[in-house]
Amino acid sequence: MKLTRVIIHADGASRGNPGLAAIGATLKDEGGRVLAAISQRIGRATNNQAEYQALIAALEKAISLGASEVDIYLDSELVVRQLTGRYRVKSVVLKPLYRQVKGLQGQLVGFTITHIPRQQNAEADNLANLAFTGPG
């Protein structure tokens, strides 16, 4: 079975904003089967930087799995609105992360991104928070 579409839920967390930060993400096929999970610390970052880095890690993983289309769900309204063009990216620290996402997007045939309420992103949120308590 060839993998085409991957469903991504991603989240970033920062303790201190900026402070110790972590990312979490799930990648699933269209049937809901988990293809990969990401849970890792990323060092010091703001919450918005962590949100972008969670998305970048998930996109890189999806591409490495052979995905050509992704449906992304984030609870960060800022990141979603920046990537859909509703908001400009003014922050100098977010601009390179934005460009990195756009570069990864260019490697895909299909790319949708949707803002969801935090409670609908619990799995990715839990993975991000797990990274704070896990090894590393």
In which band, very low, low, confident or very high, does the pLDDT at 25 lie, cut at 50, 70 and 90?
very high
88 contacts 113 by C-beta, under 8 angstroms: no
Region 50-61: mean pLDDT is 98
Fold designation for 5-133: Nucleotidyltransferase; domain 5 (3.30.420)
In which band, very low, low, confident or very high, does the pLDDT at 3 lie, cut at 50, 70 and 90?
confident
- What pLDDT was estimated at residue 1? 53
Reading the block at residue 112, the tokens are 């949708």
User: What are the domain boundaries of the chain?
Assistant: 5-133
Provide the residue type at 54 as one letter. Answer: A
| 104-115 tens-digit pLDDT | 999 999 999 999
Burial (CB count <10 Å: 0-12, 13-18, 19+), residue 120: middle
Alpha-carbon span 66 to 86, nearest angstrom: 29
111 contacts 69 by C-beta, under 8 angstroms: yes
